Structures are given as structure tokens and as C-alpha cells.
A and B are shown apart, each in its own frame.
Chain A
Amino acid sequence: MSGLHPPKPFPEAARDKVSQPQLRANLRKVTHTIREKRLRAVGEVPHWEELRVLGEATKDATLANLSDRLLQLEASVKARGGQVHWARDAAEARELVARIAESHGVDELIKVKSITSDEIELNAGLAERGIHAIETDLAELIVQLSHDTPSHILVPAIHRNRAEIQALFNRELPGEGNLSDAPAELAGAARRYLRHKFLTTKMAVSGVNFAVAETGTVCVVESEGNGRMCLTLPEVLVSVMGIEKVLERWEDLAVFMELLPRSSTAERMNPYTSFWSGVTPGDGPQEFHLILLDNGRTDVLADATGRQTLRCIRCSACLNVCPVYERTGGHAYGSVYPGPIGAILTPQLLGMADKNANTLPGASSLCGACFDACPVRINIPQVLIYLRGEANEEKGVTAEALAMGAVGYAMSSGWRFEGALKLARAGQGPLVRGGEITALPGLLGGWTQSRDLKAVPPQSFREWWRQREGADG
């Protein structure tokens, strides 16, 4: 599995994951640790709420004039010697990267910050053309060497433990001797392997955190420094960005440089922030390509409620606070975008007719923790509810729709409701034992898998009220 397309409906994929106790323990530990650190990092900023509002407004303003901003970005990047390409979908973007590689006779390239490239399934696309892409982010490398897929935006190997990584490196990094499971030793081995690649590879592909329209500056924010190596050592650099990553002004960056690290790694500032604008003769890559990827984004932009999703800066704060993500991990979402943001972004990018993706808006108890955590105030619960409606429109008449219609009819007046209640009371008889129901039929059976249900009591509130009014009056 890679790219956007979930291979299974969420409830099914979740069932496989929820039953893995080791996975659940790992996830709980890591998400709770990041969660608490984030609260501390955010708590240090007295005007955090105002900053969030500013982040929201800045992104909204850019999105409102997105086509102008993108044209401005294109012009600024070209003016500084870069080349700009527009990709309507994943296939076009893959083709662009492959052609650039082929034009330089490259059969191996290095990559950093690769969620967008995972969205377009770049590695597989390049492999078909005989081009090998090597991940340089440590966690991405672990995922790649184990032929796995990332399960978290920020901690792609969150589902792997140290012993697994030790075994993997001993198998996949020959010439390193027999490594122990000490983190420093494992990191050292990866560093030697990657350093060799940085110094010998001619071409790099990167993602983009922000691109500034007025200056043509592209920005990547990272923790390891491997990105810095990728962005400066190769001769050719190709950066792939979703069109929503553009900002209008240089000053706009200031807001996000505060919001992003605190929300994602719970740091006051991330260790490496790289900016580059076009090409500089004799310094850094001598050829720079920026690929502007749509892949469904303009459809999202056209939707008044859904468009807020495009504010996302991929900080992953919503994943770390989500009780559903905590129990299932990222793979259950079946897309490169997991967690609450994935539950709204994936179905929107793919369209609500996608039968597996349209189960993702249901992957939430609507507890609202994601909205509180989101640095750009995406009202994820609201979008989830909205998308559930869009999904139902696609599905047409289902057993659930009929049941909801019947409930709606019963609720259309107090009298009908009372009648339905009497029917329920009469009908529950055979199911009730000691005041509780332990097994329900049909659509409701999921409830009694793990909890009992209190029986409907003999007198409703309205019956009590009527009795009391009668007695009073």
C-alpha cells in the first residue's frame, strides 16, 4: 500500500490493528509523550491562541487568491533561475521527475521530506523506469529498507521498535559489522551509509513546507540535517509541492516558524530550516525544478466547507491527540495521510465516490481534540460531519439510511416518539436479562460486542411528567 488509495474500508483495517497489543502499547507511549511535550511548548507562548487565529487568517487569505499567488510564485522562481512545472495529477508529477532524471542519465537519486512524493507514489514510478530513490530521513530510511510504508506524518516508523531496527540494519547495511541496539550505534551506521550517498548522488528530490510567492523562496523545515545535505550537495534539485503550500509574503513565514515546530516536534525552533531561491552559480544545485501539484486540490478549494483542509501545515499535532489514531496507528487509514487530517484530506482528494476513502470521515468519535490541537484551526470535526453527509449522498439508499428515516419519522412529534418507545419496550422483552441487554441484533450488534445495554425503563420522563401534572392539577 502506498499513495492515497485505502485498500480497505476503515472499520475493517482498524479491526486488524486494534488487536495488536504491542502496536497499541508503542503508539500509546509515543503519542502521549509527544502530546505532553507539545502542551508544554505551546504553553510557553502567551499569545498562542492569537497566533493560531493569525495562522488561519494568513492561510485563508492565500487560498482565497491561490491562482494569483501561484502565478506570482512561478514568476519569482523563474526570475531566480529556477524552472517551474505544473502537474495536474500524480501521474503527471511522476513523469516530470522521471524525465528530469533521465535527461541527466541518473539511475539513483536521494530524497527528503517525502510525504508529497509518497502521495504521488514516486518511488514505485521511478523504479519502473529503472531509477532507484533513496530515502535520507532516518525514519523514512527504516521504512524503506523494511519495504514498509510510513504510519505517521512526523514519526514515519512510529510502529517499529529498536530491536526490529537493529535486525533490519544488520541485514540491510552490509559492512557495518554486528550492530548492537544502542541508538547511537544504529544512528552511526545510518549516517555512514547516507553520507556516502549524499556525496556521490547527482540528483535530489525534496518536499516543501512553504514557498513564498513574492520572493520565490522555497523552505524545508527538518530535524536531522539530512535535508540540508540533500538540498545543497547534489547538482540537480527537484522539489514537489502541493499547491496549497504557497504563502504570499516573506513575513508570513514568521507565524508558521512559531506554529509548526511547537505543534509538531514540541520544539521552540526546529534544528534546520533551509531556504533556497532558484540557483546561485557555483553554490548548491545548479539546476532547480519546482513541481506544483494539484492532484485533487482545486476540487477541495472549490468546496466552501472542505477548503479549510488546505490550511494544513502537516504538523501532525492532530494525530498525536487523536484517540482513534492512538488505538489503530497510521496504517489503518490506508493512505499517506493518516489520523484526523487524513480522515478529511484523503477522501476529499480522491472524491467521495471512493468506497474505501469515504469510510474515513467515520473514523472519529468527534471528540474534538484535533481541532483544539490544530495550529491553523482546521475545524476537523465539522468537516468530518460534512463529509459524512457527502458520502451518504453518494451511497444513496442503504439499510442505515432507511433506519435513520424511520427514527426521523418517530421523532417528528412527541406522540409518535412515545408510541415508538412503547413498541421498543414491548419488543425488548426477550433480549432483557436482569435489566440489561447483552446481545443486540442487526445494525446495533456492534454495541453488544463489548458492552451491555440498559433496558428501556417502564416509565419515560414524559409519562412521569404527565402523571405529575395530572396529580397537581
Chain B
Amino acid sequence: MNVDLFITCVNDAMFPRTGQATVRLLERLGHEVRFNANQTCCGQMHLNTGYREGALKLIRKFVDDYRDAEVVVMPSGSCAAMVRELYPEAARWGGDTELLREVEDLAPRVYELSEFLVNRLGVEDVGAYYPHRVTYHPTCHAMRVLRVGDAPLRLLRNVRGMTLLELEGAEECCGFGGTFSVKNPDVSAAMLADKTRHVLDTGAEVCTAGDNSCLLHIGGGLHRLRSGAGTVHLAEILASTEEEVFA
């Protein structure tokens, strides 16, 4: 299949390894991977912080960049949720019926990585090898907006060499919430404290998730605690093999 990547601005700038892992993984599964270098950001930060005009510009740009894609895959539940769930809303608020039509046409072709693999391709074993103790945090937008369900866990259970540890309070938000983390830092920190405590209680070396923005937050908390545990994106674990450990 021709897969268009949307790497997301956070991954592009801060987590290039996640994008690289996504490319390796999809190519290993036999897909033709394309990257449109004009891409930037889905506009979520603008919309969620209440800057509709700024968001609409980025939404129109996303539509321009991906209008002709067969499928668009992104290693981020949050950005996929933005496109599928909030693009139509933003177009309505902006009174742009043409844009609404376009986003409704494009949205069903947009996938978060794990749902693309499991729900669209029916692949649960990607041949990964990752010899570490890992715990999985289901991010809010993947879980409650995209309803990816246990797709990420199915993929993780088939990773060889890995010990998967159950996370207490897994479904509780880590407290990132984009600009929420800087506008309401005290509440965000209180939520993060519970999340990092639960991660450390599992004894895992690595906390994984399908969203690097949440992991940036959890990882930042774990680092501040000098805990030794860290965070790795799901794509990097799935891309790892005995020959090439990605994460």
C-alpha cells in the first residue's frame, strides 16, 4: 500500500527516531512509504488553546498536503484524533462548508499507527524483538477519541524478549493536555506525580505509549525524579529487531 506519513511537528523536531522507526516498520511490512516535506503541524495546539483562525490555516494546509493520499498514517493518537474528530468541528465553527466537505472526505483515510496495523491491516505480530521490562500507558485521545482499544497491547504482546508489566491507573490522564501543562502547572504536576509513581511501581525500565507529547511529559517527570526509568514510543519498540535495536 502507498502510505503517506504525517510525522507530526513534535516528532519531527523532538523525536526524529520515532519517525525513523515508523518508516522502517512500515517498509519492513512491505509498504511504499512517502513523506511530504511540506508538512508541519495538525493545528491541535492552536485549536485546543482557542485560536481558531490559526488552527484553520493549518487544517487547510493539512488538507492540501494530503488530499490525494491513499492512507495517512501518523505515530500519534492525539494528532489523528484532531483530524478525525475536531477538523469537522473547526470547519463548522469557521463556517467553511467547502473545508468541511474536504475534511470529511479525508478523515476516514487517516490512521494512528497501531490502529492502522491492527484494525486496518490485520497485523498483530510485526516481528519485533525488545529485551526489556516495559509498561504501557494508553493515551487519552487514542483510547477515548480514536477507540484504538487493545490494538497497541496486541502488538506489544507479540514482541519477543519483552516483559510487559501492568500499569495501575493506566487509563488516568498523565496531565499533559498541551498548553494545559503550562497554563495550569500545579494541577498538571499533581496528575503527573501520580502517573510517574505508578510507572515506577511497576519496576519497568521503559514506559511506552503511542504519543510522544504524553511521553515528553511523563519522561520529563521521570527525569526530574532521577529515577532511571525512561520513555520510548511504541513505534520504536515495534521497529526494533534482533539485528537493529531502535530504542
Contacts and interface: CB of A to CB of B under 8 A. Distances in A.
Range, interface on chain B: 35 or more
A240 B40 CA distance: 53
Nearest to A24: B190
A446 B221 contact: no
A465 to B, nearest CB: 5
B224 to A, nearest CB: 5
Contact of B46 (A324, A362, A408): A408
B136 interface: no
Interface stretch (A110-118, A130-138, A281-289, A409-417): A409-417
Given A392-B51, A453-B220, A454-B219, A305 B93 contact: yes
Contact of A392 (B37, B50, B140, B184): B50
B9 A411 contact: yes
Interface in A337-366: 361-366
Contact of B224 (A327, A385, A407, A450): A450
Interface in B5-27: 7, 9, 11-16, 18-20, 23
Interface string A383-419: 0011111111000000011001101101111101100
B216 A454 contact: yes
A189 interface: no
B37 A462 contact: yes
A18 B39 CA distance: 40
Interface stretch (A166-174, A227-235, A254-262, A368-376): A368-376
Contacts of B216: 453-454
A438 B225 CA distance: 12
A385 B175 contact: no
A447 B9 contact: no
Contacts of B43: 411
A417 B26 CA distance: 25
Interface stretch (A9-17, A87-95, A155-163, A271-279): A9-17
Given A408-B57, A447-B182, A367 B16 contact: no
A389 B47 CA distance: 8
A411 B12 CA distance: 12
Given A18-B186, A362-B184, A389-B93, A414 B173 contact: no
B244 to A, nearest CB: 15
Interface in B209-244: 216-217, 219-221, 223-224
Nearest to A410: B40
A224 interface: no
A450 B185 contact: yes
Given A385-B48, A408-B46, A408-B58, A365 B173 contact: yes
Interface in B117-140: 140
B190 to A, nearest CB: 4
Interface residues of A, number: 70
Nearest to B42: A411
**A interface majority secondary structure:** helix
Given A414-B39, A447-B181, A450-B224, A323 B172 contact: yes
A452 B223 contact: yes
A404 B221 CA distance: 25
A365 B188 contact: yes
Interface string A314-335: 0000000001100110000000
A147 B19 CA distance: 57
Nearest to A404: B51
Given A388-B49, A450-B224, A460 B16 contact: yes
Contacts of B223: 436, 451-452, 454
Interface in A400-445: 400-401, 404-405, 407-408, 410-414, 416-417, 421, 424, 436, 438, 443-445
By Cβ-Cβ distance, the 7 closest A-B pairs, closest first, are A365-B177, A388-B50, A451-B220, A446-B185, A367-B173, A461-B19, A450-B189
Given A19-B186, A411-B9, 17 more contacts: A11-B185, A323-B191, A327-B190, A328-B187, A368-B141, A372-B144, A386-B89, A388-B48, A408-B57, A411-B58, A417-B41, A421-B12, A436-B223, A449-B185, A451-B189, A461-B19, A465-B19
Interface of B: 7, 9, 11-16, 18-20, 23, 35, 37-41, 43, 45-52, 54, 57-58, 61, 86, 89, 93, 140-141, 144-145, 171-173, 175-178, 180-193, 216-217, 219-221, 223-224
25 contacts: A11-B183, A11-B187, A15-B186, A323-B173, A362-B180, A365-B173, A366-B180, A382-B89, A385-B47, A385-B89, A388-B50, A392-B49, A408-B46, A408-B58, A411-B9, A417-B40, A421-B13, A436-B223, A445-B182, A449-B186, A450-B221, A454-B216, A461-B7, A461-B15, A464-B16
